[in-house]
Amino acid sequence: MQQTQSENREINRPSSGGSGEGKPKPPRQPLSLTDLGLRVAGLAFVDGIAIWFALTLINNNNPIPAILILLVTAVINYIFLSNRLYPIRWLTPGLVLLLLMVIYPIGYNVYISLTNYSRGNALSREQVVTQLKEQTYQPANAITYSWTAYRSPDGQNYKVILVSADKSKAFIGDASGLKPTAIPATLPDTLDGYTRLTPFQAAAAGEALAKYNLKSGDLAIQFTSSTEAKEILSKYSYDAASGNLTDLETSTVYRPVRGTFTAPDGKTLTPGFVDVVGIENYTKAFTDPSITGPFIGVFIWTFIFAALTVFLTFWVGLLMALVLNDAQLPLRTMWRVILFIPYTIPGFITALIWAGLFSIGGPVGISSKSLFGEGFSWFADPNAAKTMLLFINLWLGYPYMMLICLGALQSIPTDMYEAATIDGASQFQKFWGLTLPLLLVSVGPLLIGSFAFNFNNFTIVQLVTAGGPANPTTTTPAGQTDILISYTYRLAFTSGDLAFAAAISLFIFAIIATITAFSFRFTKQLEEVLT
């Protein structure tokens, strides 16, 4: 990138007179009605969507996000109507998207990593309490009834006659509740114009009747079969002040322990809820022996995978570049196009094709059997699987290095070589003393970029081996070829431990950020762009 001299200059707007260097410079433009009209129309559109979205959220009992959205919208309106904030207008649309799809998820990721969010603990405390309170039990003295349903002529309403099993009590129930009645000797065919239903028809009626929430005293009536109904009670009561849940049947008190209601004897209730557990997800990677072992294995392999990939692609790419850099090579353009082809194919397709070729029925798989024995499979042996991944990644990645090296080789001034020749340097000395150091200056940052990319190269690992072969010694879903990002994926979406996965992804972030910050120290890139 050429940096032009003019870039450090300010735009001297003739009409903006007087404002000094470094201060915000609103372009004082003539008021344009089209401009204002467009802005107002655009804002009206955005505001409309925001208000609709906020109302939807409020209707679903999510007032806090709704307020946030309205606040952001208000800020947007201010930015677009204030002339002082003119430059910010250009940034706003991007910033809003960045806020929604990048910054908020990062913050949310940090939060999740501090919780116990997992498949069994995915609901909020309120949702769990509501769910548990729906559970019921039948108290010891509960009465069992036989029931008969009646349907209104329009088919919309139902009535029910309940007769206790010992024929001592009877009720008529409808939408308004239960009313005691005399015990009928025989069940009438019609009741207030409602027709009696057979037990076969009663299933549909049972559902409708359940919605009436019939109660005898404080005991609820539950329709347990097409003929039988029972008195039941809510099993749990929740005390919001202490956060405890009491089992009314056994009088056991369950305390919330790290997202799970737990009895004194250790019995727990499912589901659990999402609770903040602090840095436990971070520490358990290093302290829990069942996790530490596989985690360290994945960690080391991630580094080896990324480093070896960069090393191999660089050297093979450089070799190809040296071959192609010879102007006298016959058919040079043809070789260059052919050698470039692997890079043009989307990575997921390459990965799948090679996975097929290496598989048991594939040509590579079949010929390897004659070489390494009948039982050999590239997917069963960890070292073979790792070699295969590195080979495929080399095939995929060397053309990029080849192109970069070709460009860099051509930019090395030829007079340096002439000087070296005059000083009597051999070809070998010229390469190691001249070509390579000069090449690394321009290619170095790209190698670091390539390292960072391959550090997170999920596609190739997932599509070729899916992390396999499995590690038999571990309970966490860490395969022997898993890298950190695929381990994260498996933790989150195979074993459902989203919180731990979130913690691992932040760990990857820390590593990548360190490496990139390190690379910035060696390039002038940062200062160049910040000017």
Partner 1 sequence: MADVKVRSAPAAAKTGGATISGARRLNMVLKLVVAFFASLLALYPVVYVISASMNPTNTISDLIPANPTLANYSKLATDQNYPVLLWLFNSIKVSLLATVIGVFLTTIGAYAFSRFRFKGRRNGMLFILLIQLFPNTLALVSIYLLLLQIGDLIPWLGLNSHLGLILVYAGGSLGSGTWLMKGFFDTIPKDIDESGVVDGATGSQIFFFLLLPLLRPILAVMAILTFIGTYADFILARVLLTSKDNYTMAVGLSSLLGEGGANRASQWGLFAAGAVIGAVPVVVVFLFMQKQLVGGLTSGAVKG
Contact stretch for partner 1 (CB under 8 A) within 75-83, 148-156, 242-250, 403-411: 403-411
| Token pair of 78 as six digits | 């201010």
Question: Is 11 an interacting residue with respect to partner 1 (CB under 8 A)?
Answer: yes
Amino acid at 298: V
By CB under 8 A, the residues from 325 to 344 that bind partner 1 are 326, 328-330, 335, 337-344
CA-CA-CA-CA dihedral for 446, 451, 456, 457, to nearest 10: 80
Question: Nearest approach, Cβ of 304 to partner 1 (angstroms)?
Answer: 20
Q: Beta strand 228-234 with 219-223: parallel, antiparallel or unpaired? A: antiparallel
The token pair at 148 is 């008969």
Residue 15 DSSP class: G
Comparing CB distances to partner 1, the nearer of 175 and 513 is: 513
Site string for partner 1, 349-388 (x = CB under 8 A): xx-xxxxxx-xxxxx-xx----------xxxx--------
* 73 versus 262: smaller Cβ distance to partner 1: 73
CA geometry: angle 22, 7, 76, nearest 5 deg: 55
Q: Binder to partner 1 among 43, 75, 109, 430 (CB under 8 A)?
A: 109
Residue 108 beta carbon to partner 1: minimum distance, rounded to whole angstroms = 4
Q: Write out the binding residues for partner 1, residues 404-443 only, by CB under 8 A.
A: 404, 407
Q: Is the peptide bond preceding residue 271 cis, with omega within 30 degrees of 0?
A: yes
Look up residue 186 and give its DSSP letter: S
Residue 137 or 335 with smaller CB distance to partner 1: 335
Query: In this structure, are residues 76 and 69 in contact, taking their beta carbons and an 8 Å threshold?
Result: no
Is 348 a binding residue for partner 1 by CB under 8 A? The answer is yes
**45-104: which residues touch partner 1 (CB under 8 A)?**
53, 56-57, 60, 62, 86-91, 93-95, 97-98, 100-104
Per-residue binding string, partner 1, 494-513, x by CB under 8 A, is ----x--xx--xx-xx--xx
Name the residue nearer to partner 1 (CB basis): 109 or 252: 109
Which tokens belong to 397? Answer: 């990645």
End-to-end CA distance of the chain: 14
Kindly identify the residues of this chain, within the stretch 15-44, that bind partner 1 according to CB under 8 A: 21-25, 27, 29-30, 32, 35
Tell me how far apart the alpha carbons of residues 122 and 60 are, in angstroms, rounded to a whole number: 18
Nearer CB in complex with partner 1: 101/240: 101
* DSSP H or E run through 429: helix 427-430
Closest to partner 1 by CB, 52 or 432: 52
* Tokens 């353009």, residue located: 333
Q: Which is nearer to partner 1, 107 or 155 (CB)?
A: 107
Q: Is residue 315 part of the contact set for partner 1 (CB under 8 A)?
A: no
515 Cβ partners below 8 Å, 6+ apart? 448, 451, 452, 455
Contact 469, 479 (CB under 8 A): yes
**Which residues, listed in sequence order, are joined to residue 219 by a DSSP beta bridge?**
216
Stretch that binds partner 1, among 232-240, 250-258, 298-306, 460-468 (CB under 8 A): 460-468
Among 45, 286, 458, 518, binds partner 1 (CB under 8 A): 458
